[in-house]
Structure 1
Amino acid sequence: MAENSGLRARYITANEKTMLVSLNEERSDILFNKSHDFRIIHKKKAAWEEVTNLFNAAGYGPPRSQQQLKKVWENAKGKAKEKQHAVHKRETMRTGGGAPPKPEDEETAKFFLSLEMTLMVRRMNWTVMQFRVLVNHIL
């Protein structure tokens, strides 16, 4: 679909989200690097191009642009963080009684679990990088 056609793109499906998460997990060391070094930025652009090409080649739906996939990813990350915060807040503010929270449907649960695992790996990698910098600075 042409990006400037003025028509809204079709909603992304659960299978497409799952595919995007798995493609991003494979490249998490590059895509989740917070460095602003020129080489890292160049690698991120190349990784997103590769993700876009592989995503569109899978044929789950209409071709998506790199910008669309990035937006879907950022929105999914934001929703996962909001949901995690809301659950935490609800559990800490609970005064007792009431029904437990409703379970999610299976596809949504898998997506958020995978996204949470990706974010956890990212935090672990960032901590390891900080530790290595600290050790190198000390030595």
Structure 2
Amino acid sequence: MVIALTHEKRGILTIHHLTPVSRGGDKRKAKNMLAIWWNRHRSWHHVFGNSSLLEIICTLEEVQIYTSNNEFFLKIQNAAERKTGKEWRQMRHETATMLHRQIGCNLVSRVILVLLFEKNRWHNVFNGGSIDHAIALCQRIQKWKGRLNGEFRF
């Protein structure tokens, strides 16, 4: 559901449900809604799919554990920055296959692939911040939304 509230240079302001309505989230309560720009909203769903905020925080913590001081991750990250076109697509495919074998075809491997090969999506969601920054932001949203008493506010 997309509600156009205002137009800006960056796009349209939309409503994002922190717990998807399709998974039991409340459609009208302010504590389940977040106003974000359309391009950020689109990238959010590309990176995290239809996950709840709590699932995203847990996923980001797992990604942080997997990627910190991981020689393979750093090696792929450095190599991916130098590849273009067909080589880049081939490398992404091989990395995805390897990640799925190591940690399964899940949200963690999806976020790692975004960090390696689709930095523009990560930048759209978290302004290019680190994984620590992303976790802190999601935790602040969760804490702030937990304080609302259900009234619709922006």
Structure that is richer in helix per residue = 1
**Class of the TM-score when normalised by the shorter of the 2 chains:** 0.3 to 0.5
**Which structure has the higher relative contact order (CA within 8 Å, separation 6+)?**
1
Which of structures 1 and 2 has the bigger CA Rg? 1
Structure that is richer in strand per residue = 2
